[in-house]
Structure 1
Amino acid sequence: MSKPRRSQDRQDYYYWKAKKEGYRSRAAYKLIQINKKFRLIKEGDRVLDLGASPGGWSQVAVKFGAEVVAVDLNPMPPIEGVTFVRGDITKNETFRAVREICDEFDVVISDAAPKLTGKWTIDHLISIDLARASYNFAEEFLRYGGNFLVKVFQGEEIEKFYRDVSKNFRFKKMHSPQASRKRSAEIYFIGKGFKKNRGPVG
């Protein structure tokens, strides 16, 4: 049986809001809400947006006054203020392509998600792999004191991921913004104040 129309409309509120306000995806409001609460991105920041296509988060970061480098395996139509790199975030050549543009960022964000198989355990594990790949970029490019935001799907490996990543941030929290669908398994790791002591990126 299909859901009542009113329920469908409520579920699609952010989809229609994005259409009306010119954002490329409803995910834009997740970043807007997260940033309002945690102040990850500010004017003048250099932001690395991983899993960026179709560009909703990049649009928001530019609106906040950031300079953005966006990365995705899929193509993304141009956005003013955004430099796009087409590449797989799990591949070394993508690291090299980003480094040619900028060797340090104030903020690394990732809304990367797997193509869903419908098998819960598999989708969760792939999401963890993507989150770890995103964190590898943070380790490589995030400045001391910088901020990190990444999506993961909830499941058995999330606690280990949190332990592994959180130790390198002064502030850390798992958070689900209002714009996430109620039935969604997604949750976001927020890390502020990157504190891993490393030499300059080379």
Structure 2
Amino acid sequence: MAKPRRTQDRQDYYYWEAKKKGYRSRAAFKLLQMNKTFKLIKKGSKVLDLGASPGGWSQVAVELGAEVVAVDINPMPPIEGVTFIQGDITKEETLEKIKAVSREYDAVICDASPKITGHWSIDHLISMDLARAAFNIARQVLKPGGNFVVKMFQGEEIQKVFNEFKPYFRFKKLHSPPASRKRSAEIYFIGKRFKKIKTYYIVPPEEQE
């Protein structure tokens, strides 16, 4: 039988390290580790943190010297150096609020998770929808050359989503940082050096003069 989450936390190194260092979640160490490996956030970067609450990733981004805009459907206690937007990342109105703060960002990061149903296939598919929603925002606000990281749950759709994202980045990789729990099925898409791809509308024959 799997141990209850609270019991897992009490036995978890990163849980206690987060408390010791004042991070709001153990997930802070995932971003620290990925940033050390992939150099996603630099001093002076403008960072968009999607699915930010409770704020662990925003705290790390600020520590790295970034200016942060954080977005979550749930409230988040204030963090110095962070502009917070309460909104659903799947909604167009939230994208407009993000653009109202800044039209372009150097990095878009997303550690959003679905509400776990306990049905793996459902949780996996909802996770894919969240990842696509985050990418939809990133595609519209990332500066050319910008970086993107988003959490996904592994499953049958993972390669399909990876293939959807990869044409937009010169470097792309699926990665699991050491701070991810060993039993966790989460994995992160890392995209670096964003490139805009032009899309063309082909006029159907019936609409042509």
TM-score with structure 2 setting the length: 0.90
CA–CA distance in structure 2, aligned partners of residues 186 and 65 of structure 1: 27
CA–CA distance in structure 2, aligned partners of residues 155 and 120 of structure 1: 9
CA–CA distance in structure 2, aligned partners of residues 171 and 48 of structure 1: 20
CA–CA distance in structure 1, aligned partners of residues 66 and 20 of structure 2: 23
CA–CA distance in structure 2, aligned partners of residues 34 and 10 of structure 1: 24
Q: Cα distance, 1:197 vs. partner?
A: 3.9
Match of 1:83 in 2: 83
The answer on whether the counterparts of 2:50 and 2:71 sit within 8 Å (CA) in structure 1 is: yes
RMSD of equivalent CA atoms: 1.7
The answer on whether the counterparts of 1:11 and 1:181 sit within 8 Å (CA) in structure 2 is: no
Structure with higher Rg: it is 2
- Deviation string 1:80-119 (CA, Å, 9 cap, x unpaired) is 0000000000001101111110000000000001000000
Match of 1:39 in 2: 39
Match of 2:120 in 1: 120
1:70 equivalent in alignment to 2:70: yes
Please tell me the residue identity of whatever aligns with 2:31. L
Unaligned stretches of 5+ residues in structure 1: none
CA–CA distance in structure 1, aligned partners of residues 9 and 158 of structure 2: 31
Match of 2:50 in 1: 50
The answer on whether the counterparts of 1:45 and 1:65 sit within 8 Å (CA) in structure 2 is: yes
Match of 1:174 in 2: 174
CA–CA distance in structure 2, aligned partners of residues 90 and 140 of structure 1: 14
Match of 1:138 in 2: 138
Q: Please identify runs of 4+ aligned residues in structure 1 that moved more than 2 A.
A: 7-11
| Distance change >3 Å, CA 2–CA 153, structure 1 → 2 | closer
- Deviation string 1:154-190 (CA, Å, 9 cap, x unpaired) is 0000000000001110000000000000000100000
Query: Once the two structures are aligned, what percentage of the paired residues are identical?
Result: 70
Q: Cα distance, 1:2 vs. partner?
A: 7.5
